[in-house]
Structure 1
Amino acid sequence: MFDDFFEEEEFEDAGDSDSATVAAPSLPPANANPDLLAHTEHEKILLKLFNEKKLPHALIFAGPSGIGKTTAAFRLARFLLKHGKDDNQDSLFGDVAPAPTSMDVPQSDPVFSLVASGGHPDLRFFERPMNSTGTAKKTVLDVDTVRKIAPFLRMSSSEGGWRVVIVDEADMMNRQAQNAILKILEEPPPRAMLILICNRLGAMIPTIRSRCRTFHFAPLDAATLENLLKRAAPDITTGEMKLLTALSDGSMGKALTLHEEKGGNTLATLLEFLSGFPDWDWAKLHPYADNLSRTEGAYESFTHIMEWVVQNLTRAKAIGHAALPEILAGNELQALENQYSLGQWIEICEKLGAHFTAINNSNLDKRQGVIGAFGILGGQGA
C-alpha cells in the first residue's frame, strides 16, 4: 500500500531507529547564521525606520515556528550593535557616516563573532529554562526569567550604542511574565531594543501587542525551503525533498526535524494504520506508541504528521477530494474521509490539536498522546 509514493530506496527501515544512518541535518544556529533567504521586505522596512531614526523600541516577530524569525532577530541585533552608536561617535572630523544600505554584518566583523559566541556584552537572549531534571524545557517562560530583562536594558551600553534583548517563544510567557514585560514597555529605556519572537500572536496580551510594532512572517515558499534543505542536508534525495516540502508547511525547523527523525517512515507507518479504519490494529499500535514516546523528535514528528493528514482530509471534505496532496489521494483513506461530515472533521481537528497541546503542556505520557489521537479519529468524542 502507498508503494507508488514511498520508493524502497528513499527511507531507512522505520522499525530500527537505533541503526539509522541518516546524518543529522545542520544549519548555523540563528545567532551565527549570516543569511536570511526570505523576509527581505521586513528588513527593508526596518532599515528604513533605522535610517529615519524612527525604529520602535519594541518589536514582535510573529509567525509559525521554524521560518526564520529568530535568525532575523539576530540579524537586526548584529546590525544595531554594529551601526547603532551615537552619531559621529567614531568620526574623526565630525562628518556624518553614510546611511547603511543593508543589514548584513560580515562574518569577519568582531560584532558577528561576539554575537555568535553569545559573548556580546550588549545582547541577551532569553528562552524557556530547562526543567529540574534537565531533560526538557519548562512548559512556560516564567516571571523569574523575564525579570532579568529590565535591569539589563537599563544599564549603559558598554559599546556606546544599543542594548538588545531577544525573547524566544515569548507567547509561552505566563501572565505574570507578560505583566513584567509590560512594565518595561510602559517605560522603555533609551537606545534599548526588545524583540519578542512569537509563534502564536494571540497568546500575547493586547496591551503588549499595542505597544510593539508587529512584523508578520510568512511560511517559506517551496523554492526557499528546498534551497535551505540542500544546504543543511546535501545528500537529501529528490523523493524526500518533495515529501518534506509537502509536510513541513513552509517551516525549515519542521523540515529538519522530519528529515532527522525519518518523517517519511513515520508517514508511511501512519498511513498504513489509518488505512485500517474503522478497525485499528491495537496490537501493533500500542508498541508503536511506546516506541515513539521514547524520543522527543520522533513523537514531535508523529504529532505534526497526524495533524497534517487530518487537516488535509478536512480540507478535502470542504472543497473536494481532488484537493488532497498526491500522497493522500489514493483510495486507502477513502473510508476514513467519508465517515465524517465537514462539521465533524472540523471538530476532530480542534480536538486533536487540543489533545496534543494538553499532553505537551502537562508533561503527560506521550504514549497516551498517540493512542488518544487514534481514539479521536475513531470517533470517541468526535
Structure 2
Amino acid sequence: MEPNQSSNLNEILKPYGVTPHFVENNGKVKKIFSNKGTLALKEISATTGVDFVRNVQRLFQLGYNRIVPIYPTLDGRYAVWNKDKLYYCMPWVLNEYKEDQFEKNKKLFRELARLHTISSKEITIAKEEREDHYEELTSRWEKEQEFLEEFVEACEKETYLSPFQLIYCLYYHDVSQALRFSRKKFDEWYEETKDHDKVRTVIVHGKISSEHFLYDERGYGYFHNFEGTRVGSPIHDLLPFLSRTLKSYPKYYDECIEWLMTYFQHISFRNEEMKLLLSYLAYPSTVISVVKKYFHTPKSKRNEMKFVKKIQRHFWLLKNTEYIIMRIDEYERQKKEQQQSQEGAST
C-alpha cells in the first residue's frame, strides 16, 4: 500500500486497537492481517451508513446473531467516520462450507424469515398516506395500460410490422393479462386495508442473495453486506430476489416455490401482505419499460435485434413469474379452504 493509504488505514483501525501487518486490497473490502487475527474492513457511503449502524445495533439488541459479527470500537461504536466515509470491521469468513445451491437458498430463506420475525414492528400509518399510494400507483398503471393498448392498435394498423412490433403483438395478451391480475390484487389489498391505521415493518436486508449468505466452519449461515438495510415491508426483500432468480430461460421454478414455502412456514404472512406481494410480483413493469423505450427511440436509431432480444428476455421473466404466482395463489386458496373447514368443524 502507498504511504498515505497506510497512514489512513492505521487511523481507521486505531479505534479498534488493531495494528495491521499486511493488507490485501479488494476494492471496498480490505483483508487485514493484524495483531487481532484476519479481519475484513469495509467502506460504505455516509448516506446509507446511518441506517446501517442503527439497524445492526437494533438486531444485536433483539438477540439476532446470524449476521457476520461486526466488531465495535474500543468505545462501543459500530463504524468509524473517516474522510466522508464510514468503515466497519468484521472477521474474515472463509466461507469454505460446501453445499448445493438449493439447500443453501433454503437455509437463506429460513434465516430471512427469522430476521423478519424478530425485527417485526407495528407502526401507525395515516389512512391518507395509504390512499395517496393507491391512487398514485393506480393512475400510473392505468396510463401504462392505455399506452400498451394504443401501441398494439397502432402496430396492427401497419401494413408491414417490424420484428419488434410483431413479437409485441404476440405477447400482448399475456402482458395485459398479467397487468389485469396485478391490478385486481392491488384493488383487493386496498379494499382490505383502507381502514387500517397500522402496518407491519421489518428490518429489510436490502439485497439478499446466496453471495451475501456466508457459512462458518461449523456450517452455520450468516448474512453480511447489510449496507442497503432499511425498515420496510418484508416483500422488499422477496421481490428483488425473485426478479433476479427468475430472469432466465422459461422454466418451472419448483425450487423457488420450495424456498418461498420455507419462508412462509417460518413467518406468518398476512393476507393483505400476500395480496400486495402478488400484485407487485405480477406487474409486467420490465416489459412495459422496453416497449416505452422502443416507442420513444427514433426509427433511424432503433436496433430491432437488440429490442427483440430485450422484450423476449423480459417476457420469459413474466412467464416464469406467472408460474410462481399461480403456485402461491393455489397455496393461499388451499390454506383458506383448510381454515374454513377447521372453523366449520369446531362450530
Question: Shorter-normalised TM-score: what interval?
Answer: under 0.3
TM-score, scaled to structure 1? 0.25
Q: Which has the higher strand share?
A: 2
TM-score, scaled to structure 2? 0.27
